Structure 1
Amino acid sequence: MDETAATPEPDGGETAIPQPNVLVGVTPGQSEVVLREATLLADRLGAALVCAHVDASRYITDVLPDGSVLSVPLDPDLGDAESPQFDPELAEHVRDVVGREPAPAGRERQLIFRALVGDPALALAQLGETAQSTYFVVGTRRSGLRAGMKEFFGGSVAVHLAHRQIRPVLVVPTAPVRQSDHPLPWEPGPDAPA
């Protein structure tokens, strides 16, 4: 792995994002399957893997001449303006997951980190446009009432990306449900008489 490209850095950092690249949204506690699938896709394409984390609790206040940004928390009592930083623990977790996948023969993986702020779908779409990403990779939300309500009112990042920009979006199921566990109303269920 190219360590200079793997150093966590703020969005707009010195490491240029090469072509082609696959952009994956990463969050703490996210299912590892999303990152594994993004890694495999980047490997198949011979592309760099750009791992972006979006802090939705902050918003941009200023864009500096070098392209970096200053942001403040939505709650003004929580802090001052600062450049977003990629969480070192999340970066270490990403390196660990990516490192478990066998690297393609004769090629070193390029792993780049970007810390973003604001609405996740808009921030990812903007980075994808700037970096001219080949694909977006995002995971589905966890199931449950809270996640369902949040998705109902805010919409999912995957849906927003699929409808509001031009790049293909690979949505990785993080908690797949086998069809046999939940048959359609007209299909016989597992308890149906034979």
Structure 2
Amino acid sequence: MGSTAVPQPGLERMVPFPGHPLVVGVVPGQDPLVVRTAASLARALGGVRVAFAYVDTSRYVVEERADGTVRHAPIDPDGVDDAWEGVEAGLRAALAARLREDALDWDLRYLAGRPDRALTHLARAVDASAIVVGTRATGSGRHLRDLLEDSVAAHLSHHQHRPVITVPLAVVDWREIRAPWGR
């Protein structure tokens, strides 16, 4: 079996920031700091379009379309199939409220599957210059290794060529992180 080289980041693959949209990962109930940071960055880049995206991990992709949208279906065939519409409507309303005073060109894409793959597909489809995501709030029992393994930002930064802008939503006191050998 021959192996093909994975395309690597490089100057020839760089997407210029001005004139190219941002892709922003959002989740219900997320701290408004992610949306506000993305809006501020979009204005600083000359008012570029912002493609907000929610990735529903309880659904899978049936078809990826060239515009970055997907046709999706529930992983559980016995589950209620229309619950996602309420999530989408709630996200759209929350974004509209947070962006009410911004003259920002934006839309929301409801995606499915693995968040890193879905955001990468959307970024390719809209020719985004960067992807913006927030960190997850740390739980009291979580260790640094757990955070890194589950981090969408970390997966994105290692599996596609666009810059990933990570908005910190919680910080960890370095004095509280114990080395694995010190437990």
If the TM-score is normalised by the length of the shorter chain, which range does it land in? Answer: 0.7 to 0.9
State the shift of 1:98 in Å: 2.0
1:178/1:97 Cα in 2 relative to 1: closer, same or farther (>3 Å)? Answer: farther
1:127/1:68 Cα in 2 relative to 1: closer, same or farther (>3 Å)? Answer: closer
SS in 2 for 1:133: coil
Distance in 2, Cα, partners of 1:160 & 1:39 = 23
Q: State TM-score, norm by structure 2.
A: 0.73
Residue 29 (structure 2) aligns with = 29
State the shift of 1:142 in Å: 1.0
Q: State TM-score, norm by structure 1.
A: 0.69
Distance in 2, Cα, partners of 1:67 & 1:136 = 14
Contact 1:141 1:147 in 2 (8 A): no
Contact 2:69 2:109 in 1 (8 A): no
Residue 48 (structure 1) aligns with = 49
1:71/1:152 Cα in 2 relative to 1: closer, same or farther (>3 Å)? Answer: same
Task: Kindly tell me the number of residue pairs found equivalent between the two proteins.
Answer: 157
Residue 135 (structure 1) aligns with = 130
Residue 73 (structure 2) aligns with = 72
User: CA offsets, 1:123-160, max 9 Å, x none?
Assistant: 00010011111111100011105765994595211001
- Counterpart pick for 2:160 among 152, 162, 165: 165
State the shift of 1:70 in Å: 2.9
Aligned runs of 1:173-184 on 2, under 5 Å?
173-177=168-172, 182=175
Q: Which amino acid is 1:31 matched to?
A: D
State the shift of 1:55 in Å: 0.6
Q: Structure 1: 5+ residue runs without aligned partners?
A: 1-18, 186-194
Residue 8 (structure 2) aligns with = none
Larger radius of gyration: 1
Distance in 2, Cα, partners of 1:65 & 1:44 = 28
Residue 60 in structure 1 maps to residue 61 in structure 2: yes
Distance in 2, Cα, partners of 1:125 & 1:156 = 14
SS in 2 for 1:75: coil
1:184/1:54 Cα in 2 relative to 1: closer, same or farther (>3 Å)? Answer: closer
1:64/1:160 Cα in 2 relative to 1: closer, same or farther (>3 Å)? Answer: closer
Residue 38 in structure 1 maps to residue 38 in structure 2: yes
Distance in 2, Cα, partners of 1:183 & 1:153 = 17
State the shift of 1:95 in Å: 1.4
Residue 112 (structure 1) aligns with = 107
Q: Which amino acid is 2:35 matched to?
A: L
Deviation >6 Å, runs of 4+: 64-67
Q: Percent identity?
A: 35
Distance in 2, Cα, partners of 1:29 & 1:122 = 22
Contact 2:39 2:104 in 1 (8 A): no
State the shift of 1:163 in Å: 0.5
Contact 2:55 2:111 in 1 (8 A): yes
